[in-house]
Structure 1
Amino acid sequence: MVLVHLFLLLSLIAVSSGATIVARLNPGGTRVSLSVGTPPQKQLLAVDLNAETSWLPCGKNSSFEPGKSSTFSPLPCSSNACSGHCSTNKCLLPISPKTSVPAFQETLTGFTAPAGAKGTAIFGCAAGKSVGVAALSKNSLALPLQIASSFSVPRKFALCLSPDSPSSLFFGDDSSIIIGGINISSLVSFVPFVSNPVFPSRYYLDLRTIQTDFSDLKLDPSLFSINPKTGIGGLTLSSTNRYTKVPTPVYAAIAQSFKKYATAFNISIVPAQNLPFDLCFNASGMNFNRLGPVFPAIQLIFRNNIPWNLVGSRVIEFFRGNAIGCLAIQSAGDPPATSSIGLFHQFDNLLYFDLAQTRFGFVDRSLHILRQSCKFS
């Protein structure tokens, strides 16, 4: 896979003329490696698609020590970025509903490509914290728009997440991402983001219904609607939850379809035994193909009948030495409830976040159907 990754990066740089900035993610895609300050201080930050501002563990003996950087610059209240964030003559950024921390501007490096890429970004300085956050929301203070401005690249980013190998985060031009000789960009389907007036910086998708093996579950459309007063409802993307969550009636309909299939093919249902699932099966009764266990495929149907297909190993996850496999979806609770696509269903897919055209892109089947993956050595 080393050659694949090298080919990927060379293709990006050659086609995009340096208009793509690439950062390395850990296996599972929950942490991104960046460097901040002069000289660079390496940071391993939690990826958060919903966070509005990025922040670092800050202070003496923290991962970022301002006193050791010659380019550390507290953000003044007069800065445009501080508009609405000034208190007692200090620029303070919110990192939680009840906590705000001092803002500063610093150099940003540590990217895997192009070599020597260097820009600036605004962070919060959070004392006493152990792990910082890389905000990837639509907010102007989150990294996507800051990097677009600092590096003069398009207002886009893409994720290619692997569950067990280093993954990649791409900022900027996404016109020619090539994996294994295939231009994956050309296979991407796009759907528009929908707005949530309560959480305007988060990414919501216009999910219309769900099918199993192309049979509509006849769900009430209101189960996926957003309440404009509370912000509850709709379908969002999660970078913190491993599993996809849907309202209880939706989960019940999916589970019933899987139970019916298991009964028809003599696959035993077994207790979950302290696993975070409600429906598990004895793996010894399953059939397998190159995509994983043979079970009903799940189709998420978006506006204009655009599908996102979940099949095989992206439907069932195995535990206890592969002895049992569980439906990798959880209930989000009784309606009204917000649905979310978890990391498990984001793995081995190329996910585009096009902030310029307010749309989301994905390969309608995960890359392993194309005999490819997001594993980059």
Structure 2
Amino acid sequence: MRVMKRSISRGAPDTILATSIYNALTKAFVNEMPKEVRSVTPVEPFTTCFNSRDIGLSRLGYNAPEINIGLHKKNVHWRITGANSSAKVNEDVVCLAFFERHTRDWGQAIVIGSYQVQDNLVEFDLSRTRIGFSNLLFFRQTELYVAQLDR
């Protein structure tokens, strides 16, 4: 099992992924999208976009496929729902709010952006090099997960 470096950034508005991860995510996201949701021409800077009228809304955001980021244990993951995975860019278009890293000048395979973190509780325990986080706080019951930070 290969361990990938990852970080959380307040400066990056959306999550940036290494090319192989980005390609796998977008392919899976499109394949899991309900068949009645039509893909549309991307709106810059996004590359994976859909007709907003085809996607329903709930208290968890757009009814988009759930994204689960696996962490240090098999059963520990961060669930990202439509509220944090999809951004409405205009009246007709909703896009996947993840980007492909086009440069090789930094070592992280995943940089979690502020859009994916919003409305989540994130707690940094620097003395124990751990990070705790909740899934989207729109849920009635919130669970806190703890992951070991890379040093």
**Same fold by TM-score, threshold 0.5 exceeded?**
yes
| 1:79-228 correspondence to structure 2 within 5 Å | 222=2, 225=4
Secondary structure of the 2:65 match is coil
SS in 2 for 1:308: strand
Question: Residues 320 and 352 (structure 1 numbering): CA distance in 2 closer, same or farther, change over 3 Å?
Answer: same
Cross-structure match for 2:64:
295
Q: Are residue 309 (structure 1) and residue 59 (structure 2) matched?
A: no
Residue aligning to 2:25: 254
Query: Which residue number in structure 2 is paired with residue 329 of structure 1?
Result: 98
Name the counterpart of 2:146. Answer: none
- Indicate conservation of the 8 Å contact 1:314/1:344, yes or no: yes
Pairwise CA distance, 1:370: 2.8
Matched residue count: 139
Distance 1:238 1:298 in 2: 19
Name 1:359's counterpart in structure 2: 130
- Distance of 1:342 and 1:329 partners within structure 2: 9
Shift of 1:298: 0.6
- Give the AA of the match of 2:38: S
SS of alignment partner, residue 102 of structure 2: coil
Alpha-carbon distance change, 327 to 337 in structure 1, aligned in 2, over 3 angstroms: farther
- The normalised TM-score by structure 1 is 0.35
Corresponding residue of 1:270: 40
Structure 2 gap segments, 5+ residues each: 143-151
Distance 1:280 1:371, change over 3 A: farther
CA distance in 2, matches of 1:371, 1:317: 25
Question: Could you list the per-position Cα deviations for residues 162-208 of structure 1 after superposition, in whole angstroms to 9, with x for gaps in the alignment?
Answer: xxxxxxxxxxxxxxxxxxxxxxxxxxxxxxxxxxxxxxxxxxxxxxx
Same amino acid, percent of matched pairs = 25
Q: Deviations over 1:18-43 (max 9, x none)?
A: xxxxxxxxxxxxxxxxxxxxxxxxxx
Q: Please state how far the C-alpha of 1:318 moved relative to its aligned partner.
A: 0.4
Q: Is the 8 A contact 1:243 1:328 kept in 2?
A: yes
Deviation at 1:308, TM superposition (A): 0.7
Deviation at 1:334, TM superposition (A): 7.0
Shift of 1:371: 8.4
Distance 2:115 2:140 in 1: 18
- Higher Cα Rg: structure 1 or 2? 1
TM-score by length of 2: 0.82
**Which amino acid is 2:97 matched to?**
A
Residue identity matched to 2:42: A
Contact 1:248 1:334 in 2 (8 A): no
Structure with greater contact order relative to length (CA < 8 Å, sep ≥ 6): 2
1:238 aligns with 2:17: no
Amino acid of the structure 2 residue aligned with 1:309 = R
**SS across alignment from 2:128:** coil
Once the 2 structures are TM-superposed, how far is the Cα of residue 261 of structure 1 from its aligned partner? 2.7
* CA positional deviation for 1:288: 2.3
Change (3 A) 1:288 1:236: same
Indicate the SS of the match to 2:127. Answer: coil
* Of 271, 279, 284, the match for 2:53: 284
Structure-2 residue corresponding to 1:349 = 120
Aligned counterparts of 2:50 and 2:63: Cα–Cα separation in 1? 12
* Higher mean displacement: 331-340 or 244-253: 331-340
RMSD: 2.1
Secondary structure (helix, strand or coil) at the match of 1:317 reads: strand
135, 139, 146: which one pairs with 1:369?
Answer: 139
Shift of 1:291: 1.0
Tell me the amino acid that sits aligned with residue 251 of structure 1: Y
Q: CA deviation at 1:290?
A: 1.8
AA matched with 2:12: N
